[in-house]
């Protein structure tokens, strides 16, 4: 881990900015979408439980940022009443023995390889290499296009286009397109709260993948954030597995992000 970052922050802050982003995603989402898609969110202290059954992604169906048994029990009781996929995410190396016992008592089974949490603190970024693609902020009138591209990229149902389009132009959010000429071929988003920012929403049209689109969007968000007072960026992606390609992880490392910890996924 970047030693400068380790002196300035803690995993709790790295998690907290991600929690804030997803709670805000819920807050800015249209009321009719929440009702139709059974989209719900329960903030608990610095963490939350979030449920969007029609979304296949773990990120929208999970318990995040909670460590105490009391908070976890509240989130668990809320979450088991939901449909769809349900997960609990935790940096198992940092939790108490009581939390580990709680996981065992609930019979929660580890799911997949888990996620890598990566951070960047502004001291080691590599922005000198020219981008292969031009990027720009998404205009408010392009919100539906942005939302539809995110849904296609993450294999979300088209009914969730309104979810991702809702963040365009909202306070704290910055949304980006990568362009081939003037044609959008990739998307990305950044949520800022104070001096922290969370990066997400990165997708690329299939025919433009593996050509530097996401690397350009990572750098653009970092540059934009630094210009707006961000000192610490956080993002997550699949934990690398030896012998298997992980382009997202590699792109983040090339720009200057460092892995802070490994977050395990448990199925509820």
Calpha distance 268→261 (Å, rounded): 22
pLDDT the model gives residue 130: 72
Q: Which residues of 183-210 are buried (b: 16+ CB within 10 A; e: fewer)?
A: ebbbbbbbbbeebbbbbbbbbbbeebee
pLDDT of residue 131: 76
Per-10-residue mean pLDDT for the chain, 268 residues long? 37 88 98 98 96 96 95 97 95 93 97 96 67 93 98 95 98 98 97 97 94 94 94 96 93 92 96
* H/E segment holding residue 223: helix 213-227
Burial of 171 (0-12, 13-18, 19+ CB in 10 A): exposed
pTM for this structure? 0.93
Describe the crossing of helices 213-227 and 247-255 by its angle, rounded to 10 degrees.
40
Q: What's the pLDDT at 125?
A: 59
Sign of CA dihedral 100, 14, 149, 171: positive
pLDDT for 248 equals: 94
Residue 230 in contact with residue 9, Cβ under 8 Å? Answer: no
Task: Give span(s): CATH 3.40.630.30, the chain.
Answer: 134-263
Instruction: Return the closest-CA partner of residue 90 out of 193, 18, 41.
Output: 18
Backbone angles phi, psi at 149, to 5 degrees: -70, -40
What is the model's pLDDT at position 41? 98
Question: What was the pLDDT predicted at 126?
Answer: 62
At residue 222, the pLDDT reads 94
d(CA 5, CA 232): 8
Domain 134-263 has CATH 3.40.630.30: yes
pLDDT at residue 2, rounded to an integer: 38
């Amino acid at each position: 881990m970047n030693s400068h970052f380790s002196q300035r922050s803690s995993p709790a802050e790295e998690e907290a900015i991600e929690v804030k982003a997803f709670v805000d995603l819920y807050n800015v989402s249209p009321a009719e979408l929440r009702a139709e898609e059974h989209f719900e969110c329960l903030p608990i202290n610095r963490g939350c439980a979030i449920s969007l059954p029609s979304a296949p992604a773990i990120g929208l169906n999970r318990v995040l940022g909670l460590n105490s048994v009391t908070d976890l029990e509240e989130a668990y009781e809320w979450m088991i009443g939901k449909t769809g996929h349900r997960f609990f995410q935790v940096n198992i190396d940092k939790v108490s023995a009581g939390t580990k016992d709680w996981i065992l008592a609930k019979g929660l089974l580890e799911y997949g390889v888990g996620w890598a949490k990566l951070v960047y603190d502004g001291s080691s970024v590599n922005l000198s290499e020219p981008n292969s693609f031009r990027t720009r902020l998404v205009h408010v009138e392009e919100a539906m296009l942005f939302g539809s591209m995110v849904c296609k990229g993450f294999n979300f149902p088209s009914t969730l286009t309104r979810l991702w389009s809702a963040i365009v132009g909202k306070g704290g959010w910055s949304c980006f397109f990568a362009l081939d000429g003037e044609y959008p071929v990739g998307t990305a988003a950044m949520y800022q709260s104070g001096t922290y920012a969370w990066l997400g929403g990165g997708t690329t049209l299939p025919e433009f993948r593996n050509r530097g689109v996401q690397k350009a969007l990572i750098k653009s968000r970092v540059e934009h954030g630094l210009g707006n007072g961000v000192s610490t960026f956080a993002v997550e992606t699949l934990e690398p597995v030896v012998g298997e390609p992980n382009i997202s992880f590699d792109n983040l490392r090339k720009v200057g992000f460092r892995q802070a910890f490994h977050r395990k996924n448990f199925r509820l």
